[in-house]
Amino acid sequence: MLPTPQRDFSAPTIVIGAGPHGLAAAALLRRSGVPAVILERSDQVGTSWAQRYDHLRLHTTPGASKLPGLSVPRQAGPWVSRDDYVRYLERYVAYHRLDVRVATPVQRVERAEPGSGAQWLAHTPDGPVPAGAVVVATGRCHTPNVPDWPGRSTFTGTLLHSAHYRSPAPYRGRDVLVVGAGNSGTEIAGVLAGAGAERVRIAVRTPPNILPRSSARWHAVGRLTEVLPLAWRDRTSLLTQRLAVPDLTSRGLPRPRTGLYTRNALEGVNPVLDHGFVDAVRSGRVEPVSAVQGFDGPDVLLADGTRLRPDTVIAATGYRSNLHDLVGSLGVLDEAGQPLAVGARTNPEAARLYFAGYTNPLTGVLRQAGIEARAIAYAFGREKARARLLTPQAGGRTADTLGRGHAPS
């Protein structure tokens, strides 16, 4: 049996992305004695949260939204606002004394030359940064995804992705079509309908699984039922929806036929947690319509043959992780561009390259940030201990190859 190859732990550990997953990973690595440098492309931490619409609130309670080592302040209330969560992330950086280098985008990650003292090179506009290990935490919601609908370029109205929607104010008195019935789409449609939009329609391809957002029990149920058979969980979820959510079929939104657990497993889709959408549909303030098939000048063409002529189309059509430029040459992505291994698992051909934040579990994405961070920190500790046994003189202090750090507060 060949001996385990020696690892050089003197090069810094690089975490790419200063969102919740990157911050949690860096904090637990630091707690484990593995100082990490966080490279963030924007000029602040939590920028993907800061740039979302003004009325965004978390769909998880503070207890399920906290990162390891620091609670969300009680003053934030039961449903934490966008701005309060960004402030929490900034406080998290200061509390854990994390080394964050803002305005430092990583363009690509490559393998370092053997014998160079590093495992990886993180290329930035200022040059390559050697790294002993890399945690990629740029997240699932990295790049807005707008479908390439036929005739899209001919549309004479306003077309924007939900990532660029900020508030309902510009849409007062306007005819708006929201495309996509996920959490963002339903929330935006409901708020527009209550804030003076002349007409609000929502284009639905697949009827969503809708649950009340009245408490945190839905995520708790997800955790408690993970070990049960998928078919049983699906049947239970559909029954729960029948009991808790009115039938909107007469309003153009039939009940879903697929359980929320199967949809999550196959599509990575979570249920819609309702906070006003159902009432808006029941009252006719939001009108469900068929899926968008294409555009023809001022008209939007629907799958059922209907033509609409809205002033504005807001595409709540999701995001792409967009990892190809960053790590696409390393053989670590699947056909859909998602990491083949996440959390503490790594690709056999890419040792010490970790991915955090690329799943969408029913138990809560922010809770998952802590789970993955703990697993990665444990993997680092185990590898470091193994290296010490093989080469007792190995180890040493982490080199600061980037100069002085900046930790926003």
In a domain, 396, yes or no: no
174 with 257, same domain: the answer is: yes
Beta strand 127-131 pairing with 175-179: unpaired
Looking at the domain assignment, is residue 368 inside a domain? yes
CATH number, domain containing residue 70? 3.50.50.60
pLDDT of residue 394 exceeding 50: no
Rounded mean pLDDT, 141-161: 96
pLDDT of residue 4: 33
Residue 35 has pLDDT above 50, yes or no: yes
Please give the tally of structural domains in the chain: 2
Taking the alpha carbons at both ends of the chain, their separation in whole angstroms is 50
Please name which of 326, 306, 321 lies closest in space to residue 268, comparing C-alpha atoms.
Answer: 321
Taking 3-state DSSP, the helix, strand and coil percentages for the chain, each rounded to the nearest 5, stand at: 30, 20, 50
Model confidence over 299-319: pLDDT tens digits?
999 999 999 999 999 999 999
Q: Which of 296, 318, 340 is the last residue of a domain?
A: 318
Average of pLDDT values for 141-146? 94
Q: Are residues 220 and 271 in the same domain?
A: yes
**3-class state of residue 133 by DSSP:** strand
Under the banding of pLDDT at 50, 70 and 90, the label for residue 212 is confident
pLDDT of residue 385: 73
pLDDT band at 409 (very low <50, low <70, confident <90, very high): very low
- Residue 210 and residue 291 in one domain: yes
Task: Kindly state whether residue 4 falls inside one of the protein's structural domains.
Answer: no
Stretch 381-406: mean pLDDT:
57
Whether the Cβ atoms of residue 162 and residue 305 lie closer than 8 Å to each other = no
Question: Greater confidence, 3 or 255?
Answer: 255
* Residue 18 and residue 154 in one domain: no
Q: How far apart are CA 147 and CA 152, in angstroms?
A: 9
Residue 76 shares a structural domain with residue 112: yes
pLDDT of residue 61: 85
One domain for residues 39 and 170: no
Whether the pLDDT of residue 44 is over 80: the answer is: yes
Residue 406 has pLDDT above 50, yes or no: no
Residue 1 included in any domain:
no
Query: Do residues 297 and 339 both lie within one domain?
Result: no
Tell me, yes or no, whether 123 lies in a domain: yes
Q: Does 292 share its domain with 156?
A: yes
In a domain, 181, yes or no: yes
- Mark whether 218 and 267 lie in a shared domain: yes
Pinpoint the alpha helices (H) of 149-215: 183-194
Dihedral over alpha carbons 323, 324, 325, 329 (to 10 degrees): 120
Residues 217, 273 within the same domain: yes
- pLDDT of res. 12: 87
Q: 180 versus 403: which is more confidently predicted?
A: 180
* Cα 221 to Cα 386: distance, rounded to the nearest angstrom: 39
Residue after which a domain boundary falls, among 299, 318, 337: 318
Name the average pLDDT for the chain.
89
Q: Which of 185-189, 274-278, 280-284, 403-407 has the lowest mean pLDDT?
A: 403-407
What CA–CA distance (Å, rounded) separates 303 from 293?
A: 5
Q: Could you tell me whether strands 272-274 and 210-212 are parallel, antiparallel, or unpaired per DSSP bridges? A: parallel
Could you list the beta-strand ranges (E) of 126-274.
127-131, 133-136, 143-144, 158-161, 175-179, 199-203, 210-212, 272-274
The last residue of a domain, from among 266, 300, 318: 318
Query: For residue 407, is pLDDT > 50?
Result: no
Do residues 154 and 128 share a domain?
no
Share of the chain above pLDDT 90, in %: 73
Range of the domain at 236: 146-318
Each residue's pLDDT tens digit, 326-349: 999 999 999 999 999 999 999 888
Per DSSP, the three-state class of 350 is coil
What is the crossing angle of helices 230-244 and 260-267, to 10°?
A: 120
301: which strand partners? 294, 307
- The band of 247, judged by pLDDT with boundaries at 50, 70 and 90, is very high
pLDDT band at 408 (very low <50, low <70, confident <90, very high): very low
**Residue 8 domain-assigned (yes or no):** no
Instruction: Grade residue 139 by pLDDT with cuts at 50, 70 and 90.
Output: very high
Task: With CA atoms as reference, report the closest residue to 108 among 96, 120, 90.
Answer: 120
Are 113 and 68 within one domain? yes
- Under DSSP, the state recorded for 271 is P
